[in-house]
């Protein structure tokens, strides 16, 4: 069972399956598109990345997701690949995942007779592993509007600017007061552990403090505890560990208010 | 009056003729053949880096339904050795395997699925041998030998060159700097992997169509390796989907020929997939370089010591010639009176290194140009000023002691950089870096020799035919691997013969139709063939006009008054116009064809008495020059380096087609940016860990900045319309220009390429750490 086939294509080249018991969900209309609801939006699992990227609801209500989609793969991959596929593939390097974690995405899972909902962080359990049972499909993603946040940040560190598998990524939503106090914060890192890492203790440690280099530096030890990066052909664990912390400092440049803060 | 506006003119920017057919997917490459009754050929690769072959077990494979034949070295009745200078590479491994990609058996099957299954069934019984995976290990006393019979042991070629008092003169310098550099492998990563097809015809002719840069040289190699008559082989070379040197020599040709001999007259196809291309194809030589460079206090270069080590893998594959070109260029385009330049091209059990655009020069340019910046910094001179003071002019001697007797436009390139906005505004740009960003600007000067050097004859034979329909057919003897030279040939012929595209035809290289014209390599393709073509076109033009005058004008000596027009001959005094299709009837079959040979001039100077080095190409006579300038931004948080602006100012003589020239320069820069920043072939114990384009990272359009290319268009007297080679020089500059820019940005130099994010971040952290210690 597949949707866009962008991951499948690569896998099949390596390990051909014969005969081909493939079911494509990608053309089912009901699984495509974005529907607005009073409290947020429902994204059909088979919506392509490109379609979401050009969708005004996504762009305006969930800019952090749009930022992740913007750097996912390349135009052909964004045209074919789907958000549901990105979730079910459950790669720690999936570019939509850190944004979906900070947005507290809830997944709608359907089977012939039932519908269930599950938070994305409970759905993905390991690299390539998720809690999709036999007979179930991912139908879509529920996102809640939260206009409170005033920093919507996504950064992907890859070996090149397109067609890159993330070496580390960070998605962040912050509400920073006019005086520079972090009032709310959601953070999620990709590619630094078997699954996306969204450490609540780091978030808690930031809350109530000035958004400054000092504040961010102080939570680095907590962050480094929370992650467990690996060495692979793209980067060393040490590099990922360093960069996972460093890219948090990029939030300083996002701080939209008075000069003098964040330095 | 005939419309003359479409007449091809030298110097005019025109779209290359192959653009349309390639964009539409209509152009047929060697790997595009899927004929009827096709046999699929594939290769069983060694999989281990060094071992004696005890037994190749093929019985199971042979019995598999759909397998036509399984061939091993026992089925080869020739030398079973191929190579350009030293023929040391087996078609199919016999006694030993020397790298993971060695071909051990060739399987012919009815379809791809059977072929794959068949290849998996072959087992090879090995006696493993100790592997050599580094230059240092290869050079150790008592190291296992990769070619037991080679008199040089594990050293394929060694060079020792000295001018003046050599390195001893370093002691007389006021300032000396020293650097140890390493440069990585680079994969060609062409769109079209190695491939082609072959057929044994009923009359015993072997027809091979291959993606190759060297159809004529391939003939001799295939014939000798397989023990068949050279005359019975025909090789056709369509446009390549990229080659960059990786198809300068045998890839699939001998295997296809061997396969065709066992296919009972059926066509046989072989195309390597991407992984096989990585594993079996050649790469740019990785190397380590030790440089010491000294100057007088006023910034005049005085002495150089350069030691250059290249890992050539287990086979020559031009690895000797590549080292030689590296040594010739080791001192860069500068006047250095005293130099010791030594080099070793070393056999290992790593992947095979071979020709790649630049041919040994990008490695030394990386070391030399960074050393120049280090020296400039020590002398407190700007990098540009340092280079201006030492740049070669015509009549100067190179660091090898060879006089530059041809056009030498480096000084003009440097002047143009000094006047360029990117140079003048660099400080302002650097100062406006955003938070967590550092910006730097670097330059590099490069020179690149053209052609084969003093011994190997560098010639081309052009042939033009006036067809019965009154068009001109250009027989292109040298391959167009994507660089656009075939278009340029039409432009040259069109200019001389005053024709438009409708009256020009092109025959791509075919050993039965076109004439031997050497390889598409060494930045010599358009220079050498272009000169031959001018001769052929001029002679044919003269003959046509003369003959036309004899018939249509009263005075048979009036040939000079007649002019060629597209498809016709015109006599202005009488206004008479005769179609070429009519003129052609007055010519004998043989007169319709014009052939001209051009042989490139060589220098008579002998910087070395080492005949072997001369055979390998030292020295050259004609050089192109360039100055590259890179703007880079370094991210302090990730170590990522981004090239943000790029300028290349080149002296490649006069330009025939500015558009094709610009494409060459831009292609070289882009490939060079990959070499500098992200391309990193990881090899562990002889095995490639990054054998695909997902793990071997080449830049995409998103990583390539705005590139500006300026040609100073200085006339090269011996060049066709004043041209010099432009195919390679652009890849010599990016690594040093970017490395210098990164050093400028970070205040710390990274001696190991590529300058990937991890390496840069480590250097930044070390520097920060160092500072804290000081504070």
**pLDDT at site A166:** 97
Query: Do A195 and A113 share a domain, yes or no?
Result: no
Query: Do B438 and B468 share a domain, yes or no?
Result: no
Query: Do B102 and B248 share a domain, yes or no?
Result: yes
Spell B74-108 as b/e; 16+ CB within 10 A means b: ebbebebbbbbbbbbbbbbbbebbbbbbbbbbbbb
Which of chain A's residues have a Cβ under 8 Å away from the Cβ of B700? Answer: 74, 160-163
Query: Do A164 and A214 share a domain, yes or no?
Result: yes
Query: Do A62 and A138 share a domain, yes or no?
Result: yes
**A243 to B682: CB separation less than 8 angstroms, yes or no:** no
Burial environment of residue A134 by CB neighbours within 10 A (0 to 12, 13 to 18, 19 or more):
exposed
Rounded Cα–Cα distance for residues B639 and A243 (Å):
9
| Minimum Cα–Cα distance from A168: chain B residue | B638
Measure in Å the smallest separation between the Cα of A114 and chain B Cα atoms: 39
Smallest Cβ–Cβ distance between B637 and the set A164, A236, A247 belongs to: A247
Among A90, A123, A144, residue at a domain's last position: A144
Query: Do B201 and B62 share a domain, yes or no?
Result: yes
Q: Is residue B567 part of a domain?
A: yes
Among A80, A110, A144, residue at a domain's last position: A144
Among A144, A163, A196, residue at a domain's last position: A144
Query: Do A126 and A51 share a domain, yes or no?
Result: yes
Query: Do A55 and A138 share a domain, yes or no?
Result: yes
Which residues constitute the domain of residue B59?
33-129+194-271
Partner A contacted by B765 (CB < 8 A): yes
* CATH code of the domain in which B582 resides: 3.30.365.10
Partner B contacted by A253 (CB < 8 A): yes
Q: Is residue B433 part of a domain?
A: yes
Rounded Cα–Cα distance for residues B57 and B186 (Å):
35
Query: Do B682 and B757 share a domain, yes or no?
Result: yes
Query: Do A218 and A240 share a domain, yes or no?
Result: yes
Rounded Cα–Cα distance for residues B99 and B282 (Å):
12
Count: domains in chain A:
2
Q: Is residue B337 part of a domain?
A: no
**A159 to B757: CB separation less than 8 angstroms, yes or no:** yes
pLDDT tens digit sequence for B588-619: 999 999 999 999 999 999 999 999 999 999 99
Q: Is residue B495 part of a domain?
A: yes
Query: Do B429 and B465 share a domain, yes or no?
Result: no
pLDDT tens digit sequence for B620-645: 999 999 999 999 999 999 999 999 99
**pLDDT at site B204:** 95
Q: Which two tokens stand for residue B663?
A: 């494409």
Burial environment of residue B333 by CB neighbours within 10 A (0 to 12, 13 to 18, 19 or more):
buried
Q: Is residue B81 part of a domain?
A: yes
**pLDDT at site B151:** 95
**pLDDT at site B556:** 64
Query: Do A158 and A134 share a domain, yes or no?
Result: no
Rounded Cα–Cα distance for residues B714 and B626 (Å):
12
Query: Do A192 and A113 share a domain, yes or no?
Result: no
Q: Is residue A232 part of a domain?
A: yes
Query: Do B477 and B424 share a domain, yes or no?
Result: no
Partner B contacted by A236 (CB < 8 A): yes
**B697 to A74: CB separation less than 8 angstroms, yes or no:** no
Q: Which H helix or E strand runs over B457?
A: none
The number of beta carbons lying within 10 Å of the beta carbon of residue B521 is 27
Partner A contacted by B128 (CB < 8 A): no
Which of chain B's residues have a Cβ under 8 Å away from the Cβ of A162? Answer: 700-703
Q: Is B219 left (phi over 0), alpha (psi -120 to 50) or beta?
A: alpha
pLDDT tens digit sequence for A160-181: 999 999 999 999 999 999 999 9
Rounded Cα–Cα distance for residues B159 and B360 (Å):
14
Q: Is residue A114 part of a domain?
A: yes
Q: What are phi and psi of B553, to 5 degrees?
A: -100, 160
**pLDDT at site B215:** 98
Which residues constitute the domain of residue A237?
151-254
Measuring CA to CA, how many Å separate B550 from each of A7, B179, B599? 72, 71, 33
Among B249, B271, B293, residue at a domain's last position: B271
Residue B164: CB partners within 8 Å, gap ≥ 6?
A: B303, B337, B338, B339, B401
Q: Assign A53 to helix, strand or coil.
A: helix
Among B229, B247, B271, residue at a domain's last position: B271
Q: Is residue A21 part of a domain?
A: no
Q: Is residue A14 part of a domain?
A: no
Which of chain A's residues have a Cβ under 8 Å away from the Cβ of B756? Answer: 159
Query: Do B419 and B470 share a domain, yes or no?
Result: no
Query: Do B689 and B559 share a domain, yes or no?
Result: no
**B678 to A164: CB separation less than 8 angstroms, yes or no:** no
**pLDDT at site B558:** 64
**A233 to B690: CB separation less than 8 angstroms, yes or no:** yes
Q: Judging by DSSP bridges, how do beta strands B472-475 and B504-507 pair with one another?
A: parallel
Spell B564-598 as b/e; 16+ CB within 10 A means b: bbbbbbbbeeeeeebebeebbeebeeeebbbbbeb
Direct distance between the N- and C-terminal alpha carbons of chain A, in angstroms, rounded to an integer: 50
Rounded Cα–Cα distance for residues B660 and B646 (Å):
18
pLDDT tens digit sequence for A116-160: 999 999 999 999 999 999 999 999 999 999 999 999 999 999 999
pLDDT tens digit sequence for A42-80: 999 999 999 999 999 999 999 999 999 999 999 999 999
Query: Do A185 and A236 share a domain, yes or no?
Result: yes
Query: Do A117 and A62 share a domain, yes or no?
Result: yes
Query: Do B213 and B87 share a domain, yes or no?
Result: yes
Among the listed residues B724, B697, B707, the one whose alpha carbon sits nearest the alpha carbon of residue B669: B707
Q: Looking at the predicted structure, is the pLDDT value of residue A258 above 50?
A: no
**A239 to B689: CB separation less than 8 angstroms, yes or no:** no
Query: Do A122 and A107 share a domain, yes or no?
Result: yes
* CATH code of the domain in which A161 resides: 3.30.390.50
Q: Is residue B611 part of a domain?
A: no
Residue A187: CB partners within 8 Å, gap ≥ 6?
A: A102, A170, A171, A172, A198, A199, A202, A203, A248
| C-alpha Rg value of chain A to the nearest Å | 18
Query: Do B541 and B578 share a domain, yes or no?
Result: yes
Between chain A and chain B, the number of residue pairs with CB atoms below 8 A apart is: 58
Q: Is residue B369 part of a domain?
A: yes
DSSP B398: P
Helix runs in B700-756, H state only: 729-732, 734-746
Q: Is residue A25 part of a domain?
A: no
Given strand B437-449, what is the order of strands in its sheet? Answer: B437-449, B623-635, B641-651, B706-711
Query: Do A196 and A231 share a domain, yes or no?
Result: yes
| Minimum Cα–Cα distance from B699: chain A residue | A160
Q: Is residue A70 part of a domain?
A: yes
**A162 to B695: CB separation less than 8 angstroms, yes or no:** no
Query: Do B212 and B96 share a domain, yes or no?
Result: yes
Q: Is residue A227 part of a domain?
A: yes
Q: Is residue B151 part of a domain?
A: no
Query: Do B502 and B476 share a domain, yes or no?
Result: yes
Bridge partners (DSSP) listed for residue B547: none
**pLDDT at site A256:** 57
Mean pLDDT in order along chain B per 10 residues (775 residues): 76 96 96 94 98 97 98 98 96 98 98 96 98 98 96 97 98 98 98 98 97 97 97 98 97 98 97 98 98 98 98 97 98 98 98 98 98 98 98 98 98 98 98 96 98 96 98 97 97 98 98 97 98 98 91 66 93 90 94 98 94 96 98 98 98 98 98 98 98 97 98 98 98 98 98 98 91 41
Rounded Cα–Cα distance for residues B356 and A180 (Å):
55
Interface probe for A, chosen from B642, B758, B765 (most Cβ of A below 10 Å), is B758
Q: Is residue A6 part of a domain?
A: no
Rounded Cα–Cα distance for residues B493 and B470 (Å):
14
Measuring CA to CA, how many Å separate B500 from each of B303, B476, B540, B578? 54, 18, 17, 17
Q: Beta strands of B328-482 (E only): which ranges?
A: 338-347, 437-449, 459-466, 472-475
The ipTM (two decimal places) reads 0.95
Measure in Å the smallest separation between the Cα of B762 and chain A Cα atoms: 8
Rounded Cα–Cα distance for residues B699 and A245 (Å):
26
Count: domains in chain B:
3
**pLDDT at site B771:** 54
Beta carbons of B510 and B236 less than 8 angstroms apart: yes
* CATH code of the domain in which A85 resides: 3.30.465.10
Which of chain B's residues have a Cβ under 8 Å away from the Cβ of A236? Answer: 758
Residue B85: CB partners within 8 Å, gap ≥ 6?
A: B316, B318, B320, B321, B615, B616
**B695 to A234: CB separation less than 8 angstroms, yes or no:** yes
Bridge partners (DSSP) listed for residue A157: A168
């Amino acid at each position: 069972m597949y949707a866009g086939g962008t991951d499948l294509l690569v896998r099949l080249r390596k390990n051909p399956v014969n005969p081909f018991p493939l079911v494509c969900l990608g053309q089912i209309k009901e699984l495509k598109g974005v529907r607005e609801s009073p409290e947020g939006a429902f994204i059909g699992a088979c919506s392509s990345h490109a379609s979401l990227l050009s969708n005004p609801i996504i762009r305006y209500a969930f800019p952090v997701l749009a930022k992740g989609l913007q750097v996912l793969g390349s135009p052909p991959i964004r045209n074919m690949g789907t958000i549901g596929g990105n979730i079910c593939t459950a790669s720690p390097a999936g570019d939509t995942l850190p944004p979906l974690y900070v947005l507290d995405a809830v997944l709608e899972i359907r089977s012939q007779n039932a519908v269930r909902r599950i938070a994305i962080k409970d759905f993905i359990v390991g690299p390539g592993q998720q809690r999709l049972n036999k007979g179930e499909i991912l139908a879509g993603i529920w996102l809640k509007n939260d206009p409170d946040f005033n920093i919507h940040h996504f950064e992907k560190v890859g070996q090149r600017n397109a067609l890159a598998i993330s070496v580390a990524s960070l998605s962040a939503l912050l509400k920073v007061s006019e005086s520079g106090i972090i009032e709310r914060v959601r953070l999620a890192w990709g590619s630094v552990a078997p699954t996306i890492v969204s450490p609540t203790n780091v978030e808690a440690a930031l809350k109530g403090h000035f958004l400054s280099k000092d504040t961010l530096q102080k939570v680095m030890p907590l962050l480094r505890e929370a992650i467990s990066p690996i060495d692979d052909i793209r980067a060393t664990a040490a590099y990922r560990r360093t960069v996972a912390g460093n890219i948090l400092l990029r939030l300083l440049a996002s701080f939209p208010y008075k000069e003098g803060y964040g330095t | 009056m005939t419309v003359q506006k479409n007449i091809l003119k030298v110097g005019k920017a025109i779209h290359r003729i192959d653009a349309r057919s390639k964009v539409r997917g209509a152009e047929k490459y060697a790997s595009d053949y899927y004929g009827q009754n096709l046999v699929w050929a594939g290769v069983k690769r060694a999989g281990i880096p060094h071992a004696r072959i005890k037994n190749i077990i093929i019985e199971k494979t042979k019995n598999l339904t759909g397998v036509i034949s399984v061939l091993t070295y026992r089925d080869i009745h020739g030398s079973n050795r191929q190579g350009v200078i030293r023929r040391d590479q087996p078609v199919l491994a016999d006694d030993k395997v020397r790298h993971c990609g060695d071909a051990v058996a060739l399987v012919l099957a009815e379809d791809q699925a059977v072929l794959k299954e068949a290849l998996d069934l072959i087992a090879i019984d090995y006696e493993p041998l100790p592997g050599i995976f580094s230059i240092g290990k290869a050079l150790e006393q008592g190291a296992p030998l990769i070619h037991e019979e080679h008199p040089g042991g594990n050293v394929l070629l060694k060079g020792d060159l000295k001018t003046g008092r050599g390195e001893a003169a370093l002691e007389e310098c006021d300032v000396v700097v020293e650097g140890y550099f390493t440069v990585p492998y680079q994969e060609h990563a062409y769109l079209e992997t190695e491939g082609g097809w072959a057929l044994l015809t009923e009359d015993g002719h072997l027809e091979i169509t291959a993606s190759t840069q060297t159809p004529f040289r391939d003939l001799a190699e295939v014939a000798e390796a397989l023990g068949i008559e050279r005359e019975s082989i025909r090789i056709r070379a369509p446009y390549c989907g990229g080659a960059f040197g990786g198809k300068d020599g045998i890839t699939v040709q001998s295997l296809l020929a061997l396969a065709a001999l066992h296919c009972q007259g059926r066509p046989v196809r072989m195309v390597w997939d991407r992984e096989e291309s990585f594993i079996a194809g050649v790469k740019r030589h990785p190397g380590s370089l030790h440089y010491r460079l000294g100057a007088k206090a006023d910034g005049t270069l005085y002495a150089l010591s350069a030691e250059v080590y290249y890992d050539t893998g287990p086979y020559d594959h031009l690895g000797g010639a590549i080292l030689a070109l590296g040594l010739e260029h080791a001192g860069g385009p500068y006047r250095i009176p005293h130099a010791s330049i030594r080099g070793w091209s070393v056999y290992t059990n790593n992947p095979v290194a071979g020709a790649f655009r630049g041919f040994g020069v990008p490695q030394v340019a990386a070391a030399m140009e960074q050393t120049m910046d280090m020296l400039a910094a020590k002398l407190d001179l700007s990098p540009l000023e340092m280079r201006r003071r030492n740049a070669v002019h015509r009549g100067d001697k190179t660091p090898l002691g060879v006089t530059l007797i041809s056009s030498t436009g480096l000084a003009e390139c440097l002047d143009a950089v000094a006047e360029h906005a990117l140079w003048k505004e660099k400080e302002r740009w650097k100062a406006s870096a955003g938070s967590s960003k550092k910006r730097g600007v670097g330059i590099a000067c490069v020179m690149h020799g053209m052609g084969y050097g003093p011994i190997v004859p560098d010639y081309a034979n052009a042939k033009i035919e006036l067809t019965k329909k009154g068009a001109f057919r250009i027989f292109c003897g040298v391959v167009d691997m994507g660089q656009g030279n075939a278009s340029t040939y039409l432009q040259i012929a069109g200019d001389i013969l005053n024709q438009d595209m409708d009256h020009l035809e092109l025959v791509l290289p075919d050993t039965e139709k076109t004439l031997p014209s050497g390889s598409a390599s060494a930045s010599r393709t358009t220079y050498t063939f272009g000169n031959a073509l001018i001769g052929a076109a001029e002679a044919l033009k003269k003959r046509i006009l003369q003959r036309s005058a004899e018939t249509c004008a009263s005075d048979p000596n009036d040939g000079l008054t007649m002019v060629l027009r597209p498809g016709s001959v015109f006599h202005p005094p009488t206004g008479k116009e005769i179609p070429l299709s009519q003129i052609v009837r007055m010519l004998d079959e043989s007169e319709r064809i014009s052939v001209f040979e051009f042989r490139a001039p060589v220098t008579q100077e002998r910087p070395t008495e080492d005949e072997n080095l001369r055979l390998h190409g030292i020295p050259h006579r004609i050089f192109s020059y360039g100055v590259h300038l890179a703007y880079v931004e370094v991210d302090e948080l990730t170590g990522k380096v981004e090239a943000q602006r790029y300028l290349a100012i080149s002296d490649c003589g006069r330009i025939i087609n500015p558009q094709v020239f610009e494409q060459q320069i831009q292609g070289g820069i882009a490939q060079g940016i990959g070499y500098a920043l992200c391309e990193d072939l990881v090899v562990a114990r002889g095995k490639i860990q990054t054998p695909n384009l997902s793990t071997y990272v080449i830049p995409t359009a998103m990583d390539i900045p705005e590139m500006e290319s300026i040609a100073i268009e200085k006339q090269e007297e011996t060049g066709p319309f004043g041209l010099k080679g432009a195919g390679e020089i652009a890849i010599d500059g990016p690594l040093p220009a970017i490395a210098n820019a990164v050093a400028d940005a970070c205040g710390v130099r990274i001696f190991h390429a590529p300058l990937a994010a991890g390496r840069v971040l480590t250097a930044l952290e070390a520097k920060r750490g160092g500072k804290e210690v000081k504070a």
